[in-house]
Amino acid sequence: METEKIVEYGRKLKEFKLDRKINIMEVCGTHTMQYFHTGVKDIFPENLNLIDGPGCPVCVTANDYLDRAIEIMKQKNVILTTFGDMLKVPSSYSSLQKEKANGGDVEIVYSPLDALKIAEENPNREVMFLSVGFETTIPTEAIAVRNAIKKNINNFTILPGNKLTPPAVAALLSMGEVKIDGFILPGHASIITGVNAWSFIRDKYKIPSVVTGFESKELIFGTLMLLDLIVNNKSDLLNSYKEVVSDEGNLKAKEIINEYFDVIDTDWRGIGVIPDSGLALKEEYAEFDAVKKFPVEVPPVVEPKGCRCGEILRGLVTPLECPLFGKKCTPRNPVGACMVSSEGSCAAFYRYKKD
């Protein structure tokens, strides 16, 4: 029955009549991948164009963050712990993978709590965790700091690099470089932020949007809901992922984030500094902040020559418009961050469009 319903709605999507070109943007790396992976992108109606937005946390992390992380590791003899998807990201002069191959102390972890455990087991070494991610990962980073205090572990730090997604969408809209007719909003980040965090899209910009899940049926329903709003000129904000996303979001998670972090302006690859879009540890937790604990000179940032990752993150071009795509730049030898992460637009295009 369920399958029949998916097929029926899939057909509805495929046959949806659009009398002009419609641009919709998704702002979640998992959506970037899932639209390809589930085949939903293949049943898009004529005239529907999906633009990938700045929804991949690894991709939007500006080079100076990784440059600083490497300098801290090298200059201060620190064990650097990170999620695996940061490993191959090119920094200005190197990458964590190259540093590890050259003897650098780089450890892959699945959670900041794993990094804390490494600190506990190595009391004579400093352990730094690269805190890169959007709203969903931040509460665990706050818990890691809380546990470090509880257990009196004082050789653990995080390098704050977390980002908040609604300000990035607000920044793109205020720049006005791309005409966006509607947004598919991230299911995961919205679990924390709540639907209401996106109300500015409706109230200020009068653009429709739908919070959507990640399975094929959710992508099909969410896209259909959005197209209905667009063709009927309704600038509503709808939630098609009500099983897990509420209007207010996860209040407990927000509470712990606010307890440990301050909202700050931060730099996004390709977009620049966005007001109130990042997090820094509060002053009372400065001893857990690697930037403060390990001041280092960071060499000038160098962007990879020819890489259009920044423009891709702003929705200005697709990966296929980058002359390096699939030639000099592949997942095996990535030139830019958008080809590294499994959630990156270039990686998704390479995996699903090129094969």
Tell me how many degrees the CA angle 143-149-153 measures, rounded to the nearest 5.
110
As measured in angstroms, the least distance from the Cβ of 307 to ligand SF4 is 3
Cβ neighbour number for residue 307 with a 10 Å cutoff: 24
Examine residue 346 and tell whether it contacts ligand SF4 (CB under 6 A): yes
Which residues touch 226 (CB under 8 Å, ≥6 apart)?
Answer: 24, 182, 183, 184, 208, 209, 210, 238
Examine residue 312 and tell whether it contacts ligand SF4 (CB under 6 A): yes
As measured in angstroms, the least distance from the Cβ of 63 to ligand SF4 is 12
As measured in angstroms, the least distance from the Cβ of 311 to ligand SF4 is 8
Nearer to ligand SF4, 22 or 335 (CB): 335
Identified binder of ligand SF4 from the candidate list 130, 169, 329, 348, rule CB under 6 A = 329
Identified binder of ligand SF4 from the candidate list 48, 50, 257, 338, rule CB under 6 A = 338
Examine residue 319 and tell whether it contacts ligand SF4 (CB under 6 A): yes
Examine residue 51 and tell whether it contacts ligand SF4 (CB under 6 A): no
Nearest to 268 by CA among 110, 120, 126, 161: 161
Identified binder of ligand SF4 from the candidate list 41, 68, 293, 308, rule CB under 6 A = 308
Examine residue 90 and tell whether it contacts ligand SF4 (CB under 6 A): no
185 phi and psi, to 5 degrees? -95, 150
Q: Is 7 exposed, middle or buried (0-12, 13-18, 19+ CB in 10 A)?
A: exposed
Examine residue 339 and tell whether it contacts ligand SF4 (CB under 6 A): yes
Residues forming contacts to ligand SF4 in the complex (CB under 6 A) are 307-309, 312, 319, 322, 324-325, 329, 335-336, 338-339, 346
